[in-house]
Amino acid sequence: MAPALIKYGLLPQKNTAFFLCDLQEKFRPAMLHFEQIVEVANKLVQTSKILDVPLVVTEQHPKGLGHTVPELDVSHACGVFPKTKFSMVTPDVSPLLSTLCGGQLQCVVLFGVEAHVCVEQTAAELTARGFQVHVVADACTSRSQEDRLLAFQRLKQIGCFITTSETVIFKLLGDKEHPNFADIRPLIKTTSPNTGLAAVSKM
């Protein structure tokens, strides 16, 4: 796909990967709208499997914070990588950037927690490396709404697209005649739950 189209926010299926950041069990009681975020994340995880979009998963200090929540089946992921670094671009993940999508990775769809820490630092590092990052706002959260929403503002300032799960899914499909449309349709038949993003339009 032409670089100009990437710049303006399209998501070519063959050049896109999903990055799932630290949606772990121990974060459940602390994060805003956690159950709803997991529900939306599950749509994206299933989409990655149906459309054969590479999925990279990290877990922050899993010995202390637990593993990825059981609602998310990430068995098809390229890997589930433990980390202590806040950014997902760790020494284990970094080599994948040149091999994902047959070495043609251009766009990263990023979601998870916390928006103002691990998600933001991951997005900044990927953007600095030349990738176009789409941060899925209804699949990202923090402990406070202030940190969450201000993170989205900063991410826009560095050139990320702040998007929603349904926008991502429809951009990847591109056409009702996509061969996997019938498989994806159950995921988009019901609108995503309220994740407290109404305040974004007021900022």
Phi and psi torsions of 87, nearest 5°: -65, 145
Task: Out of 22, 43, 107, 140, pick the active-site residue.
Answer: 22
Based on the residue annotation, tell me whether 63 is a catalytic residue of this protein.
no
Distance CA 69, CA 26 (A): 9
Strands across the sheet with 107-113, in order?
79-83, 55-60, 16-21, 107-113, 132-141, 161-163
Quote the tokens at residue 1.
């796909």
Based on the residue annotation, tell me whether 22 is a catalytic residue of this protein.
yes
Phi and psi torsions of 54, nearest 5°: -55, 140
Task: Out of 83, 107, 138, 140, pick the active-site residue.
Answer: 83
Distance CA 103, CA 117 (A): 28
Distance CA 88, CA 173 (A): 26
Q: What is the DSSP letter of 192?
A: P
Distance CA 55, CA 42 (A): 12
Do 40 and 23 touch, CB atoms closer than 8 A? no
Coil, helix or strand for 62? helix
Task: Out of 21, 107, 118, 160, pick the active-site residue.
Answer: 118
State the CB neighbour count (10 A cutoff) for residue 97: 18
Based on the residue annotation, tell me whether 140 is a catalytic residue of this protein.
no
- Enzyme catalytic residues: 22, 83, 118
